Structure 1
Amino acid sequence: MMKPKTLFIIIFATILPVMGFGQFKVAPLGNTIYEGVFTGNGLLGTMTYLSGKKSVRIDIGRTDVYDHRANSEDKLFDKARLSLGHFDLDLGSAIVQSRGDIHLKEAYAVATVSTDQGQIKVKTTTLSNDNIILLEVLKKEFKGKYTLNWVADSAISPRMKFSYTQKPKRYLANPAGKNGQEGHIKYYEQALTAGGGYTTAYLLRSTKDTDTYVVTVGYNQKSTDFTQQTLAYLLKFGVREINAGLKQHRQWWTNYFKASTLELPDSTYQGFYDMQLYKLASATRSDKPAMDLQGPWTSPTPWPAYWLNLNMQLAYSPTFKANHLDIANSLIQMIDQNKDNLRLNVPEPYRYNSIAVGRSSAPDLWSPVLLQKGVSLEKASDGDKELGNLVWLLHSYYQYYRATLSRDVYDRLFPLLKEAVNYHLHLLEKDQNGKYAIAVKTYSPEYSKGFAYNTNYDLSILTWGLKALLELDDERGGNDPLHAVWKDVLEHLVEYPQNTDGFMIAKDVPYDESHRHYSHLMMIYPFYDVNWDQKENRELIEKSIAHWQSKKQWLQGYSFSGAASMYAMMGRGDAALASLDVLLNKYVKANTLYAESGPVIETPLAAMASIQELCLQYWNGILRVFPAVPSKWKDVSFNQFLADGGNLISAQRKNGNTVAVEVKSQYGGTLKLKLDMLNPIVKIQGKGKYTKQEDGLISLELNKGAIVAIRESK
């Protein structure tokens, strides 16, 4: 006979639904990447859409193809992401109807196009475990003839094509690319001035009803025989190898989608959320390059780089709750691999113990910050004056650590965060009131008057960094020589500048013009330093958000995802949903991509995080289950969301009431839970204990492997 508590766990597991992934439809297809259907494996990717009246266009991208010239002030040109090109599928007759479908579970896309010569389908699959794209032309119902040609893009920084960007005085073009053929393989070879180059190669295998183009892209920064390497790789993939690759591809995606699930009662938001989950694994993987602004899907853009003062942080924000540390690891690796450049980014006097990163960079994270005591920077670019970017980037690293509790991750994170905060400490001075203030002007991102003293951007980031260092050091006994310094600075740091409208941009700089970035409100979100548990700060929070949102001229998509997350922190699910509605209806494109002058990947992914925060939040030491579910979402459930301490959380809400919560402790430890259950019954499988506190919290002390099941008493 089963023990009662074991039976309870098994029964609980059966009431949580398993998400069934379907198709995401784009109908009709349009003439931009924002109205196309896409695939990716974290390195290679495809985007299929229309081109003119009788052609289908299939863009091919590779995420690590960056120019790699020596460091210069013109890094957005000399180290820019390069666009490869596209296949042009000329149908020879006018297109009268089209639609696109992304099959999420199997991770392939189909463009269905009708002409007066019949219907043709273009199916694209980017194999998960191989650098191979299958471009299949399904021609059974097509009576006409088509042609497929590769159209290469020039190997030039896309930023050169935008009139409002400041171009270098001299820009040496890369050599012209050239077409070639070796046996059945056609290819396009592009050498680079800095060395190496890239090659797009493909061959055709046909049956009666299907033409299959097997495509790969090779890239090498040093070798001169990169083309031969690419051709040799392509030749390894015969029919047997491709079939094996497809089997592995399907299994990989099946495993990926099992990691966590979210069930929403709104089909629009369900489809949007599922697409972001698909998009994450299409854009990057644990062993692939970190996500830049484009992912594998390129388009003319002034942003051919990594942006480090918001974009990367937002792009990776949903990976943790989604239980996809495999995705987050691409960012962690990028930071670890470029520590030397992070040190070179600070002025020479501080390099002995400090690191930093400026606004934008290539994958090498070389992006100098020029802030230095006694040095005037009035004429320097704004991106060279942003102090807090690296510490904010390390907030993602910190979340990664808290999700793993890995000693190895700790040992890498702690010195990075320590040296990033050191740069801030070098720039502090005590004022006449005994308060530490930032003694140089720094720049608050995106605000025209944001070059000022004591920006809230930098103060909130520094506050979080100091708190994190003290916490991390306390885990190992609090013996770091700088422990007392961190504590002293934290206790005596100058207050966040504010006025009658709420938080200001900086000292003597009120928020008085529209501002898309919430750089002046980061103490509210994502750091929760000023939060809704602090009743004395509620009026300040409300008026700060309201004043920010009242100036609408320059608000953009992530302005509304940020506001949604702040409303969620306040427990206002309806307000959060209203903000997300604006984002989805006004800014998100037909296929859930997003653009500001060019593709920028972060905003829809930030909205994914906002949706997660309606269901689960952790701040102020408390894990909050269903803290801000919109009133019209009566039935919501999620499985295996990853929370602080490596806890896996599942929960179900029916008819507007939370009916079940499960906590799986992967590593053991303590956890405080806040639920909306009136009389919860708690059962623990494994070793652990709990206490119900007067404030309605449930405090858990669990050993590794313990499972807690909580349900409402009937």
Structure 2
Amino acid sequence: MRTTLLSIFFVAQVIFACAQQTEGIFPVEQLGNTIYSGVFTGNGLLGTMTYRKSNHAIRIDIGRTDVYDHRKNSETALFDKARLPIGHFEWSFMDTIQQAVGRMDYRNAEAEATVIVGGKPIVFRTITFAHRDIIYIELSGDLSTFEQSGVLQWVSEQAKSPRVNFAHAKKPDQYPPNPPAHTGKQGDVQFHHQPLLAGGGYSVAWKRVSRGDKPAYLVSVAYDTVGSDHLANAVTNVRTFPWRTLDEELQQHRLWWQKYYAKSSINIPDPVIQQFYHMQLYKLASATGDGRPAMDLQGPWTANTPWPAYWHNLNIQLAYSPTFTANHLEISKSLIQMIDRNVDNLIRNVPAPYQYNSAAIGRSSAPDMVSPVYVARGKDGRAWDDGKREVGNLTWMLHSYYQYYRYSMDSSVYDRLFPLLKRSVNYYLHLLDEDEQGRYHIVEKTYSPEYGKGYAYDTNYDLAILRWGLQALIALDDERPGRDPLYERWKDVRANLRDYPQDEDGFMIAKDVPYAESHRHYSHLMMIYPFYDVHWEQSENRDLIVRSMQHWQSKDAYLQGYSFTGAASMYAMMGDGDKALQSLQTLLKHYVKPNTLYAETGPVIETPLAAMTSIQELCLQYWNETARIFPAMPKTWRDVSFHDLLTDGAFLVSAERKEGKTTHVVVKSQYDGVLRLQTGIWEGDVRIHGKGKLLERDGEEVLLQLVKGDVATITRDTDGLADKYHNIGPRGHVLSELSP
């Protein structure tokens, strides 16, 4: 039955995406009674989710992403420092809801839920303003049924960790409740005020207004960790909002989103994948942004969950993975800001003997990133939780920080990244020794995430992360004059680190631990992706890559959504667009929810966003110091283009493919630099025009040196475009400026 319903949903998505793609509308054909079939809005801090509560009620959840408890006990962070639900507005009807449908106008960042009651439609419109911390709710349609029998009610959630609702979760011996909340009214503003045991609290304030003959509501949520200013702030936000000039506010809101979408685009001939990609762009800016809290597993859209925290062994890395290529570093910035704020806690997360030069983070944490890792030389770790034995999480997270630096080329980012990456790698260096063959290996057991028997020596998770961290430190040090005292040590360990454990089936979990049971996480394959230490251009490793992937995917009992995004990205690296697309289609058919959210017991935001990355990698990849244009096109994608995608070195790249052939590539340089580019232009002579210097040319691959502001256009002569421009001369010749 589940498969049938999902198939129906997938077909419906095709139909509606085809019909409404150009309008920027994403339909949800049946509003269900969970957040996964609702319509949502957000501004990176506040958000709404509208769906059915029952056959007689509609609810609009109100969320704020930084509402976390903040008690001091780090050992029970999932309770004492958990993300807290807030509450919802509920509209109840005496008559039964006959039908409820939704639509999200992602271009203008609005959502509508249309409810049929007594044969008459009522439309609930929600907007979370991009430029103000205000939520706007408007009702329209035939309101006679609503005015006669509808009841508006605020329903608060209890201020406790939702993890207490799950029987399998280990609960603390002491978990005193937060103080009781109370509701009240200040003039024409109603409020819900929730103090917290640890200090501070959060408040929701709302006010009814009128827009013509339409009833409407202004809502705000405020939060602080000390005092009670949150109540005054929430009330003030509502009172001072200039709702009488609402049209001007809406125009500013829409203009913000227009500028956001204009930063990059991908255009593909698959309406479902195209619409899905747009929805992830919408979701990113709805969930976070510059100066906003970093994305946890939920964004602004909360539901009952055992995961009320940040997860650092895959989730946060995947959630931010599409922001770099999408040219939305302002979204990436919220992660960078969270890391920068908490460096001292990251240092304190390692055992005391290593804190002088090391840093780490365990599996999960609150926004303070307090999450100890206990692995130390000579310490028996069998009694520890698995999350406290994951050594590599911070280094992997800094892979995102490294991308943020390389895609922005901001020297101030370098200055913050380098010492922290050095600390995270130093933690590994404390745990290394040489074996009989002179190869470095990790002398204590660590944990390979998600694998039942993953507590072992020399996990591939750690070896892949360490190799990447060492290579990144070497590359960063090469950018600056002088040498770090550890530079030669990094090179030595990188060159002489123990090989990745493997057997006849491919890469193992760890030394002496084969991949023998289903495993949703690709922690044992990270040398393939995302680090590309073992990659398709190494012909000697192709069979190993194929065997490893096939063996991983063959044990499918516990595969989940991100198992298929990982596979899609690996197939894209192999140049197999058809298999990559097949993996994405499996994800959409069987795992992604009707409104493109995703769940594993509770909401987890990362998987659809990781799929967005996989879509990007069909069109543009960067690894092994080379950018690749259309490297993994499915056979059915004959006409594809993208505009201003971002790549390493802060180059903006645009390209077009028609009838299965790349017609042109445009590279814009935002900083001085060199870009090696596989153009994807195989037929006809490659012609380059614009500004810059050609350092090398080998068939379809070119090496360009560009200074800030240069634009180079690459075409094939057979399209006729090259004749309009001066073609470049021999190797090293400065490109001519564009001719009229």
Q: Is TM (by shorter chain) over 0.5?
A: yes
Q: Equivalent residue for 1:196?
A: 200
CA distance in 1, matches of 2:334, 2:405: 14
SS of residue paired to 1:409: helix
CA distance in 1, matches of 2:329, 2:211: 41
Out of 379, 383, 390, the residue aligned to residue 387 of structure 2 is 383
**Residue-by-residue CA offset, 1:215-273 (whole Å, 9 max, x unaligned):** 00010101234212321222111324644432221111000000001111011011100
CA distance in 1, matches of 2:486, 2:366: 33
Out of 671, 682, 693, the residue aligned to residue 687 of structure 2 is 682
**Residue-by-residue CA offset, 1:143-169 (whole Å, 9 max, x unaligned):** 443111110000000000001111111
SS of residue paired to 2:599: coil
SS of residue paired to 1:61: strand
Amino acid at match of 2:394: L
Out of 136, 151, 154, the residue aligned to residue 147 of structure 1 is 151
Indicate if the aligned counterparts of 2:134 and 2:237 stay in contact, CA closer than 8 A: no
Return the offset for 1:681.
Answer: 3.5
**Residue-by-residue CA offset, 1:91-122 (whole Å, 9 max, x unaligned):** 32111112101001110000011111511000
Out of 52, 63, 66, the residue aligned to residue 65 of structure 2 is 63
Out of 300, 303, 328, the residue aligned to residue 299 of structure 1 is 303
Out of 488, 512, 520, the residue aligned to residue 508 of structure 1 is 512
Amino acid at match of 1:492: N
**Residue-by-residue CA offset, 1:668-688 (whole Å, 9 max, x unaligned):** 211111133123433332333
CA distance in 1, matches of 2:313, 2:146: 51
Q: Equivalent residue for 1:16?
A: none
Amino acid at match of 1:504: M
Indicate if the aligned counterparts of 2:687 and 2:717 stay in contact, CA closer than 8 A: no
Out of 695, 698, 708, the residue aligned to residue 702 of structure 2 is 698
Return the offset for 1:699.
Answer: 1.3
Q: Equivalent residue for 1:712?
A: 716
CA distance in 1, matches of 2:299, 2:333: 16
CA distance in 2, matches of 1:542, 1:514: 17
Return the offset for 1:21.
Answer: 5.3
SS of residue paired to 2:75: coil
Out of 665, 673, 676, the residue aligned to residue 669 of structure 2 is 665
The yes-or-no answer on 1:93 pairing with 2:89 is no
The yes-or-no answer on 1:357 pairing with 2:365 is no
Return the offset for 1:180.
Answer: 0.8
Return the offset for 1:692.
Answer: 1.6
CA distance in 2, matches of 1:456, 1:129: 45
**Residue-by-residue CA offset, 1:424-445 (whole Å, 9 max, x unaligned):** 1001111111111001000000
Amino acid at match of 1:637: S
Q: Equivalent residue for 1:603?
A: 607
Q: Equivalent residue for 2:738?
A: none
SS of residue paired to 1:48: strand
CA distance in 2, matches of 1:240, 1:422: 58
Q: Equivalent residue for 2:737?
A: none
Q: Equivalent residue for 2:726?
A: none
Out of 495, 501, 524, the residue aligned to residue 491 of structure 1 is 495
CA distance in 2, matches of 1:273, 1:680: 34
**Residue-by-residue CA offset, 1:371-427 (whole Å, 9 max, x unaligned):** 100111101100000000000000000001001111111101100100110001001
Distance 1:560 1:464, change over 3 A: same
CA distance in 2, matches of 1:242, 1:186: 21
Amino acid at match of 2:561: G
Amino acid at match of 2:570: M
Distance 1:429 1:21, change over 3 A: farther
SS of residue paired to 2:330: helix
Q: Equivalent residue for 1:567?
A: 571
Q: Which residues in structure 2 correspond to 1:224-303 (within 5 Å)?
A: 224-240=228-244, 242-303=246-307
* 224-233 vs 657-666, which moves further: 224-233
CA distance in 1, matches of 2:518, 2:319: 23
SS of residue paired to 1:648: strand
SS of residue paired to 2:374: coil
CA distance in 2, matches of 1:623, 1:495: 27
CA distance in 2, matches of 1:92, 1:690: 75
Amino acid at match of 2:128: T
**Residue-by-residue CA offset, 1:517-542 (whole Å, 9 max, x unaligned):** 00000000000000001000000000
Amino acid at match of 1:36: G
Out of 119, 123, 126, the residue aligned to residue 124 of structure 1 is 126
CA distance in 2, matches of 1:199, 1:155: 12
SS of residue paired to 2:602: coil
CA distance in 2, matches of 1:300, 1:478: 53
CA distance in 1, matches of 2:390, 2:470: 18
CA distance in 1, matches of 2:685, 2:610: 33
Out of 515, 521, 524, the residue aligned to residue 517 of structure 1 is 521
Indicate if the aligned counterparts of 1:387 and 1:442 stay in contact, CA closer than 8 A: yes
Q: Equivalent residue for 2:28?
A: 26
SS of residue paired to 2:600: coil
CA distance in 1, matches of 2:644, 2:201: 43
Q: Equivalent residue for 1:625?
A: 629
Q: Equivalent residue for 2:486?
A: 482
SS of residue paired to 2:464: helix
SS of residue paired to 2:370: coil
Amino acid at match of 2:689: I
CA distance in 2, matches of 1:109, 1:196: 32
Indicate if the aligned counterparts of 2:641 and 2:655 stay in contact, CA closer than 8 A: yes
Indicate if the aligned counterparts of 2:628 and 2:680 stay in contact, CA closer than 8 A: no
CA distance in 2, matches of 1:144, 1:380: 56
Q: Equivalent residue for 2:323?
A: 319
Amino acid at match of 2:312: L
Return the offset for 1:660.
Answer: 1.4
Indicate if the aligned counterparts of 1:649 and 1:662 stay in contact, CA closer than 8 A: yes
Indicate if the aligned counterparts of 1:118 and 1:144 stay in contact, CA closer than 8 A: no
Distance 1:575 1:478, change over 3 A: farther
Return the offset for 1:126.
Answer: 0.1
CA distance in 1, matches of 2:144, 2:264: 41
Return the offset for 1:141.
Answer: 5.4
The yes-or-no answer on 1:340 pairing with 2:367 is no
Out of 188, 192, 205, the residue aligned to residue 209 of structure 2 is 205
* Structure 1: stretches of 5+ with no match in the other structure: 1-18
Amino acid at match of 1:258: A
**Residue-by-residue CA offset, 1:526-570 (whole Å, 9 max, x unaligned):** 000000010000000000000000000000000000000000000
**Residue-by-residue CA offset, 1:118-140 (whole Å, 9 max, x unaligned):** 11000000000111000111144
SS of residue paired to 2:74: coil
CA distance in 2, matches of 1:175, 1:109: 34
Indicate if the aligned counterparts of 1:102 and 1:109 stay in contact, CA closer than 8 A: yes
Amino acid at match of 2:692: K
RMSD: 1.2
CA distance in 2, matches of 1:256, 1:362: 29
Indicate if the aligned counterparts of 1:674 and 1:698 stay in contact, CA closer than 8 A: yes
Amino acid at match of 1:101: R
Q: Equivalent residue for 1:646?
A: 650
SS of residue paired to 2:687: strand
Out of 576, 579, 582, the residue aligned to residue 580 of structure 2 is 576
How many residues of Structure 1 are paired with residues of Structure 2 in the alignment? Answer: 695
Indicate if the aligned counterparts of 1:139 and 1:209 stay in contact, CA closer than 8 A: no
SS of residue paired to 1:130: coil
Return the offset for 1:20.
Answer: 4.8
**Residue-by-residue CA offset, 1:62-82 (whole Å, 9 max, x unaligned):** 000000011331010000000
CA distance in 1, matches of 2:684, 2:710: 22
Return the offset for 1:51.
Answer: 1.2
**Residue-by-residue CA offset, 1:323-370 (whole Å, 9 max, x unaligned):** 000000000000001001001100000000101000000001000000
CA distance in 2, matches of 1:144, 1:639: 46
Q: Calculate the TM-score normalised by the size of structure 2.
A: 0.93
Indicate if the aligned counterparts of 2:564 and 2:586 stay in contact, CA closer than 8 A: yes
CA distance in 2, matches of 1:291, 1:224: 25
Indicate if the aligned counterparts of 1:403 and 1:644 stay in contact, CA closer than 8 A: yes
Ranked by relative contact order (alpha carbons within 8 Å, sequence separation 6 or more), the top structure is: 1
CA distance in 1, matches of 2:146, 2:631: 57
